[in-house]
Structure 1
Amino acid sequence: MDAPQYPPKPSPGDAVAVLSPSAGLPGVFPVPFELGLRRLSDHFGLVPVEYPTTRRPDASPRERADDLHAAFADPAVKAVFASIGGDDQIRVLRHLDRDLLRACPKPFFGFSDNTNLLVALWNLGIVGYYGGSVMLHLGRPVRMDPYTADSLRAALFTSGPRTLTVPDRITTAAGDWADPATFTREPDTEPATPWTWHNATRRVQGPTWGGNLEILSWLMMADREIQQPSAYDGCVLFLETSEEMPSAAEVYRVLRNMGERGLLQRFGALLMGRAKAWHFDKRYDARERAAYRADQRQAVLRALGEYAPDLMAVFDIDFGHTEPQLVVPVGGTATVDGPARQVTLTY
């Protein structure tokens, strides 16, 4: 399979669609959603356009797919944003008009459950963007994180290579969106630890593929969107885990099964996101957060040791469910330079 192609990018002043292909949470939590819409306009100069199911928690998979089709088919809309993730986008896949999507390629921004659509676009030869959540990152209390905003602006409006950096600080805990006080103060943060490198002996370049580990495991269980192992030869795999905070054992099992399927061995390098290590039902302190991330790292290394012992890996890059959030082009070129300890993404 040829590497996916970058669709045309928007410019300030353009209209962009804002959809809910997974969950209509803007209808439940309007405050972060409307804050995100204002920042799309005020910070990025874009004109957000909502669709019928954007604020509907009860929208059917067919209705959500219809909104996607309408947004991609509209020549006035220059990019498409998911409001947030969820857990039901896999049921939208069967309703996608793939010929329409292929004929009208546009940048799609989303993460978490939007792994479903991003992988489907990858299979159609279209680069998408893992990141840019309207509610979570654009709708961050008080202000967008500057590191997030800088990455999103680069993904939206620029082309060419961009070398990644480690942020100064990362968010540790979030407020309850149902509590108005949440939006009066910035989330708690702590200093960011540096990346951890494994087998950093060479330089690898290839198109990216991946997303949220749990969602990819669902796609494999449902036998949806996963190609033959040879389709991923030389690609750079990127993975991260969600706010559900899967155990180290579960992370190992998913990667083990990818190895058994013959997938894990095909990639040229692995980029592993910094694991989200706090949620409302797991309010970990600093020691517990560090231990959770260390356990996950060891689980990944165990799977690599068994199935891809020579694979180069970089841990704790800030994409996915992290805050701040780097936007990763899905199907775009990544260069992982072990000796130089550098990761470069091409937007």
Structure 2
Amino acid sequence: MVKNVAIVSLSSGLAGEEYEKFALDIGLKRLEKYGMNVKFMPNALKGIEYLNDHPEKRADDLLQAFKDPDTDMILCAIGGDDTYRLLPYLFDNDELKNAVSDKIFLGFSDTTINHFMLHKLGLNTFYGQAFLTDICERSSEMLPYTKKYFEELITTGTISEITPAEVWYEERTAFDESQVGVPLKEHKCSGFELLQGSPVFSGRILGGCICSMYDMFDSERNEDMPQLCKKYGIFPDKDEWKGRILLLESSEEKPSPEKYRKSLDHLKAEGVFDAVSGVLVGKPMDEAYSEEYKKLLVSVIDRPELPILYDLNIGHANPRCIMPFGIDAVVDAEKQCIRFSDREHAK
């Protein structure tokens, strides 16, 4: 059972802005109802400008959270777009390697890069939810499907099975205090869709936001990001992908089909699709470009025998499950489930 939670802001400092205080209050009350002791790390609430100017402080928070023997779970406040800037402060002198310990690490979006950092050091992590986006959801309660997986993680330390949600929700157009108690518009889910390949496949899952992965190879957003990611060997090489299952989900930017194709092309050039045993793809936010993405996945990957399972409730489209990375998984499209072994979540 998770008792002590440390909240970190590894990307955006949004959690520290005054206009987000009402949301923090919502989230803290919900966590406290679970009997949790919640600690914001020293720099987590210093705001957007400060954390933008001080990536080393964001890195310090992560290191301290891992070193704290009382912390059971490290929960990311939200994503962003520049957590790669923590790399020198975490890897130049083996800082993260020397600090990392057996804790639950949960986050998504730009946090994809942090997941790859921790994978490099042998720690299995959990992808799919964050504090501001999920625990602080403006509806009267956490979204039921999201809540189900969060409760399983904090009570058991892992996730045993993922099945489709019954409904998906349109994204809010506003996030201010006027949205408190306002329900999200919902639509019926049709379940996981097998685009090609065997309905049953297995492996250990790794991946995350395709937009963050794109930025690891393209300098369009951050000029130095590809260079730094290459210097520190953050993206796994082809051999590390052998037998794994790749998870892909797209961001709130709703990348155009052209950019989605470029993202897939980068992964293909790295040999990922020749190595993995299958691909899992999250539902796009508001189902934007969904049909185009399906066609691109099939055409760019160009391996008809490689299983591709589409429309998972993971990442940027609400509601969100939690996906364990590095744990043996069996995907069964016919039974509409992904089952995980009960081995320890961390090595």
Q: With structure 2 as the length reference, what TM-score do the two structures score? A: 0.87
How far the C-alpha of 1:188 sits from its partner, in A, is 1.5
Partner of residue 296, structure 1: 293
Q: List runs of 5+ in structure 1 lacking aligned partners.
A: 1-10, 278-288
Aligned pairs for 1:236-255 within 5 A: 236-255=245-264
Q: Does 1:100 align with 2:93?
A: no
1:219 aligns with 2:216: yes
Partner of 1:229: 238
Note if contact 2:109-2:316 (Cα within 8 Å) is conserved in structure 1.
Answer: yes
**Distance between the aligned counterparts of 1:263 and 1:173, measured in 2?**
31
User: What is the deviation of 1:159?
Assistant: 5.7
Query: Structure 1: which 4+ aligned runs deviate by more than 3 Å?
Result: 338-342
CA distance in 2, matches of 1:120, 1:219: 12
Aligned to 2:330: 335
**1:1-347 pair list within 5 angstroms:** 11-12=1-2, 14-28=3-17, 29-42=20-33, 44-56=34-46, 57=48, 58-59=50-51, 60-96=54-90, 97-102=95-100, 104-141=101-138, 142-158=140-156, 162-178=160-176, 180-201=177-198, 203-221=200-218, 222=226, 223=230, 224-277=233-286, 289=287, 292-305=289-302, 308-338=303-333, 340-346=335-341
SS in 2 for 1:166: coil
Question: Against the structure 1 CA distance between its residues 149 and 339, is the aligned structure 2 distance closer, same or farther, given a 3 Å change threshold?
Answer: closer
Cα shift at 1:156: 2.7
Shift of 1:261: 2.0
The more displaced of 333-342 and 121-130 is 333-342
How far, CA to CA, are the matches of 1:88 and 1:160 in structure 2?
Answer: 28
Per-residue Cα deviation, 1:228-253 (whole angstroms, up to 9, x for no partner) = 20111000111100100001121121
Distance 1:316 1:122 in 2: 25
What is the Cα-based RMSD across aligned positions, in Å?
1.8
- Percent pairwise identity: 24
> How many residues get paired?
319
- Name the SS of the counterpart of 2:72 in structure 1: strand
1:203 shift after superposition:
3.0
Structure 2 residue runs without a partner (length 5+): 219-225
Q: Which sits farther off after the overlay, 321-330 or 150-159?
A: 150-159
**CA deviations over 1:249-296 (Å, ceiling 9, x no partner):** 21121112211221221110111000113xxxxxxxxxxx4x621111
Deviation larger for 140-149 or 214-223: 214-223
Structure 1 pair 267–154 and aligned structure 2 pair: CA distance change class (3 A)? same
AA at the equivalent of 1:100: N
Kept in 2, the 8 Å contact 1:269–1:336? The answer is no
The alpha-carbon deviation at position 200 of structure 1 amounts to: 4.1
TM-score scaled by length of structure 1: 0.87
Deviations 1:39-96 (A, max 9, x none): 1221x32111012211122121100000111111010111100011111101012211
Contact 2:146 2:320 in 1 (8 A): yes
The answer (yes or no) to whether the contact 2:193–2:311 under 8 Å persists in 1 is yes
Deviation at 1:132, TM superposition (A): 2.6
Structure 1 distance, partners of 2:200, 2:190, is: 23
